[in-house]
Amino acid sequence: MKMQPKSAGVNKENYTEDELKDIKYMKAAIGQAKKAYALGEVPIGCVIVYEDKIIGRGYNRRNTDKTPLAHAEITAIRKAGKVIKDWRLEGCKLYVTLEPCQMCAGAIVQARIPEVIMAAENPKAGCAGSVMDILNNPDFNHQVVVKKGVLEDECSKLLKDFFIELRARNKAEKEQKGNL
């Protein structure tokens, strides 16, 4: 399912109540991604919702924290578990701006999160169907309902803009070093 507002504003008549909730929470995940962007991190954001309330938020901080574990989903799962006071997040929905990697997909399965709503697919490292499908591997004791494409264009643009700026910055730094 692809849900893309036609303009900056969302015409509520074109969407179901569930779709409007998905848009609302994906916008919150985008807000998290923008925090990563501001730090110079790949702009990936995540929120976890329980009973229509955000209980976990996270954004990519791998370079900032100097650890490969500082992914948006891992941070959000950790925070949500503290709120619920359980490692099982069975009644939750996870919203993420980019398809989860193998580590995050594994954590989602381990946390027993029943549903993942994602924006953009990740053809190089996605593990919700792109490269592999950890979230729906029948050999695991838990499978996840996956909804793709919620605000995909907005999230894809944020990622593309980031990488365009990163390449330009890297090129300028390389040229400056060459002039020294």
Binding-site residues for Zn(2+): 71, 101, 104
Alpha-helical regions (H) of the chain: 17-38, 62-65, 72-84, 102-110, 152-178
Mark the binding-site residues, compressed into ranges. Answer: 71, 101, 104
In angstroms, the Cα distances linking 167 to 100, 110, 132, 160 are 24, 36, 28, 11
Catalytic, out of 41, 73, 152, 154: 73
Contact 152, 119 (CB under 8 A): yes
Axis crossing angle, helix 72-84 with helix 17-38, rounded to the nearest 10 = 120
What 3-state class would DSSP assign to 26?
A: helix
Say which amino acid occupies 149: G
Contact 22, 3 (CB under 8 A): yes
Give the sign of the dihedral formed by CA 58, CA 59, CA 64, CA 70: positive
Say which amino acid occupies 112: R
Specify whether 19 is catalytic.
no
Q: Which residues are designated catalytic?
A: 73
